[in-house]
Amino acid sequence: MKNYWNSTRMIERERLNHLMSPTAWWLRLVFWGGAIAVGVVSVLFALGAQLAHDFFLRLLSISIWLPFLLMPAGLALIAWLTRSYFIGSQGSGIPQAIAALRIDDAEKLGGLLSPRIAVGKIFLTLLALCCGASVGREGPTVQIGASIMYSLRRVSRFSYHDQIEGLIVAGGAAGVAAAFNTPLAGIVFAIEELSRSFEHRTSGLVLTAVIFAGLAANGLIGDYTYFGTVSSGLGGASGWFAVVVCGLVGGLAGGLFSRLLLVAGNGWSVGSGDWIRTHPVGFAAVCGFVLATLGALSGQHTYGTGYDEARAILTHGDAGYGGYGLFKFLATLVSYLSGIPGGIFAPSLATGAGLGASLSHLMTAVPAGTVVMLGMAAYFAGVTQAPMTTFIIVMEMTDGHSLVFPLMATALVAHGISRLICHEPLYKALAERFIESYPR
């Protein structure tokens, strides 16, 4: 018994020494500072994205035909810059963060997460929005946040693999939390999408990073909900019919989107795939022309993140946005296939809002706003196959706590249907390609 108490006192003494250690406090301060930096950069990135979109809208007000010149040239330039100076910044950024968790070599990790990649991701995504591409900033913010946190190892003694992994996961989670102002979604995203398991040694890092990043973002722009506050209910038993219908349609559409992206990544056919690989800049220009065409056909509504359109649909229905879901689906698909940096979070939520608005005309007994929210959750869950993250993001973005269970059920139905279409989660499959490019 005496040995037991002596051992216990020694353990407590070691814990106290660690708590008071200058080295331990330096690591904490570095980590907290990194999390705050993620929040500040996320807010500045968001403001820049809005300015970039406003710039494009001013060009569009001059002539609706300008995109036919701007988008092919702009996307070609972005593709060239990406391949010449910022390799590793293409696409969403989430697959790169996932892949980084499975790569041990620091030099190879630098090709996915680094200050250079973060700067390139911000600059090229903003440039894509200036050109009207259907891309979002939230996925890129994950890679940016992970890059910022991973770079902390240069000014600290973070060295062990589990510590580095914790920094990457925490940085990605902080990026989601700050980008959407959704702290719960940031934590769940880290569990469900980045780590795919909740490990005790990283849970405190994730929570701390989310808190500090969220406080920084909140301090700069105040408390807000991404799409405003949507007051809506399920509308009785008929509302559960809407849950099933939205889950089926959103799951099918989201699974199809993911399947098309993965199939295209493997090459539509030998001939076209070879041409795309050997002429990436020319292919990006072709994609730019297609995007301009989709914009003209949709009444100029498919450009940019889709934030304004989704918010308008949530608030006023789809008046003036006929067929928006389909057009946004195609515009986002083409934008991603072009190989430019840019995420699919916000465009996917906008696509889901358009699909929900179309379905609301078939279910008039259910409030239209409710069906739109269910459509957003269904399509987003279908694309990402991350149902927990989905319903929490939609709930927090719209302050829709009264629809927690319907949103949860819709996301689960959509997830199941999507798995029938696309057997492997999109981000996981894309991450595997990066891992193959950077073998362990």
- 260-269: average pLDDT: 73
- 398-427: average pLDDT: 83
Q: Is the pLDDT of residue 54 over 80?
A: yes
- 26-37: average pLDDT: 74
- 80-94: average pLDDT: 87
Q: What is the mean pLDDT of the chain?
A: 78
Residue-level pLDDT at 351: 93
Residue-level pLDDT at 277: 73
Tell me if domain 26-221 and domain 238-437 are identical in fold. yes
CATH of domain 26-221: 1.10.3080.10
Chain mean position to CA 240: 28
Helices 138-150 and 345-360 cross at an angle (nearest 10°) of: 150
Give me the phi and psi of 226, to 5 degrees please: -55, -45
Q: Is the pLDDT of residue 428 over 60?
A: yes
- Out of 86-100, 157-171, 293-307, 313-327, pick the least confident: 157-171
- 122-139: average pLDDT: 91
Residue-level pLDDT at 40: 82
- 378-393: average pLDDT: 86
Give me the phi and psi of 343, to 5 degrees please: -95, 175
Cβ distance 210 to 187 under 8 Å?
A: yes
Residue-level pLDDT at 179: 65
Q: Is the pLDDT of residue 95 over 60?
A: yes
* CA distances to 149, 331, 385 from 350, in Å: 30, 11, 17
Q: Is the pLDDT of residue 72 over 80?
A: yes
Residue-level pLDDT at 71: 94
Residue scoring higher pLDDT (208 or 92): 92
The pLDDT confidence band at residue 200, using thresholds 50, 70 and 90, is very low
* CA distances to 86, 132, 289, 350 from 331, in Å: 24, 10, 11, 11
Q: Is the pLDDT of residue 41 over 70?
A: yes
Q: DSSP H helical segments within 21-160, as ranges? A: 22-62, 67-85, 94-100, 106-109, 115-130, 138-150
Residue-level pLDDT at 123: 93
Q: CA–CA separation, 40 vs 221, rounded Å?
A: 10
Q: Is the pLDDT of residue 86 over 60?
A: yes
Q: Is the pLDDT of residue 4 over 50?
A: no
Residue scoring higher pLDDT (9 or 386): 386
**Residues of the chain with pLDDT > 90: what percent?**
26
Q: Is the pLDDT of residue 319 over 90?
A: no
What is the three-class DSSP state of 312?
Answer: helix
Nearest by Cα to 121 from 144, 149, 142? 144
Residue-level pLDDT at 110: 74
- 312-316: average pLDDT: 81
Strand pairing partners for 136?
343
Cβ distance 166 to 100 under 8 Å?
A: no
Q: Is the pLDDT of residue 302 over 60?
A: yes
Cβ distance 403 to 373 under 8 Å?
A: yes
Q: Is the pLDDT of residue 81 over 90?
A: yes
Give me the phi and psi of 136, to 5 degrees please: -115, 170
Question: H helices then E strands: how many in the chain?
Answer: 20, 0
**Residues of the chain with pLDDT > 70: what percent?**
70
Nearest by Cα to 137 from 3, 27, 45? 45
Strand pairing partners for 406?
none
| Six-digit token string for 386 | 């991350």
Cβ atoms within 10 A of the Cβ of 6, count?
A: 10
- Out of 58-67, 230-239, 383-392, pick the least confident: 230-239
The pLDDT confidence band at residue 26, using thresholds 50, 70 and 90, is low
Domain boundaries, the chain: 26-221, 238-437
Architecture of domain 238-437: Orthogonal Bundle (1.10)
Cβ distance 363 to 234 under 8 Å?
A: no
Q: Which residues fall within 8 angstroms of residue 171, CB to CB, at 6 or more apart?
A: 34, 38, 97, 142, 145, 146, 147, 148, 149, 150, 209
Residue scoring higher pLDDT (219 or 57): 57
As a whole number of Å, the CA-based R_g of the chain is 22
Q: Is the pLDDT of residue 289 over 90?
A: yes
| Six-digit token string for 63 | 């002539």
Nearest by Cα to 142 from 103, 183, 102, 177? 177
- 103-127: average pLDDT: 84
Q: How many CA atoms lie within 13 A of 189 on its CB side?
A: 33
Nearest by Cα to 350 from 326, 376, 331? 376
Q: What is the DSSP track for 333-351?
A: HHHHHTT-B-BSHHHHHHH
Q: What is the DSSP track for 156-206?
A: S---SHHHHHHHHHHHHHHHHHHHHT-HHHHHHHIIIIIISS--HHHHHHH
- Out of 190-199, 318-327, 382-391, pick the least confident: 190-199
- Out of 8-22, 228-242, 243-257, 260-274, pick the least confident: 8-22
Q: Is the pLDDT of residue 366 over 50?
A: yes
The pLDDT confidence band at residue 199, using thresholds 50, 70 and 90, is very low
